[in-house]
Amino acid sequence: MECAATARDWLCDPQAQVSAHYVLASDGTLWQLVDEDARAWHAGAGAWGPVDDVNSRSIGIEIANTGHTPFAACQMDRLERLVAEIMTRHGIPPERVIGHSDMAPGRKTDPGPRFDWLRLARQGLSIWPEPHGNGDFFENARRFGYKAAVPRETLLHSFRLRFRPGATGPIDATDHALMACLAQRWPVAAS
C-alpha cells in the first residue's frame, strides 16, 4: 500500500476481510488494531510446526516496508520493544518469532530480504543459526517447523529470505549446515 496509514485503514475495513494486531509505520508510529487475546486475520492460510491455523495462535505485526528497502532504525527500535513486550506477556520463546514467509512459503515473502533478523536475534527476540551439522535439508526443515507443502525451490527461497538473504543458486553445503543447526537447536516439538 502507498503508506502505513492506508494499510492501517484497509486492515480496519470489514470489507477487506483481513486484519492484524499491530501496524508499524516507518517512522516508528505503532497502531494496535486488534486485542492480543483476539484472533486477527493477518497470516491467511499457513502452518508452522504442529500449528495448522497460524491466525488463531499468533500475534500479527504488519511492518510498513516494500521488502526491498532497508527498515528504518526508529521502526526497528520500536519493533524490538514491541516484540520483547509481547514475548514477555505471553511467554513466547525466540524460536517462535517467525515471518509470514516462514509459515506461508511462496504465498508470502514478508518481511523480505532486507529485514534484519540477526539484529532481533542479538536481542534475544529471534534466533540465528551457525552453520554446523548435516543431514537432509528438507527433513531438517520439517523438524525445524517448515510444514507447507510447496516445491523444494520455494521452501529453499523462503529459508534464504530469512537466513541467507541474497543467496541464489542450487541448494549448497551452507544451506544444509544452517538448516541442520536450526533442526538440532530449535525443533518445533521442543517448543
In contact, 69 and 111? CB cutoff 8 Å: no
* pTM confidence score: 0.93
Q: Which residues of the chain have pLDDT under 70?
A: 1, 189-191
Q: Which tens digit of pLDDT belongs to each residue from 21-61?
A: 999 999 999 999 999 999 998 878 889 999 998 988 999 99
Identified catalytic residue from 36, 62, 85, 95: 62
Domain map (residue ranges) of the chain: 4-190
Mean pLDDT of all residues belonging to the chain: 94
Pairing of strands 61-63, 22-24: parallel
Q: Quickly name the fold that domain 4-190 has.
A: Lysozyme-like (3.40.80)
DSSP, residue by residue, 47-98 = -BTTBSBGGGG---EEE---SSSPPPHHHHHHHHHHHHHHHHHHT--GGG--
Q: What is the pLDDT, as a whole number, of residue 190?
A: 54
Q: What's the Cα-to-Cα distance from 184 to each of 105, 137, 181, rounded to whole Å?
A: 21, 12, 5
80 is annotated as an active-site residue: no
Peptide bond into 111 cis (omega under 30): yes
Q: How far apart are CA 64 and CA 39, in angstroms?
A: 21
d(CA 66, CA 48) in angstroms, rounded, equals 24
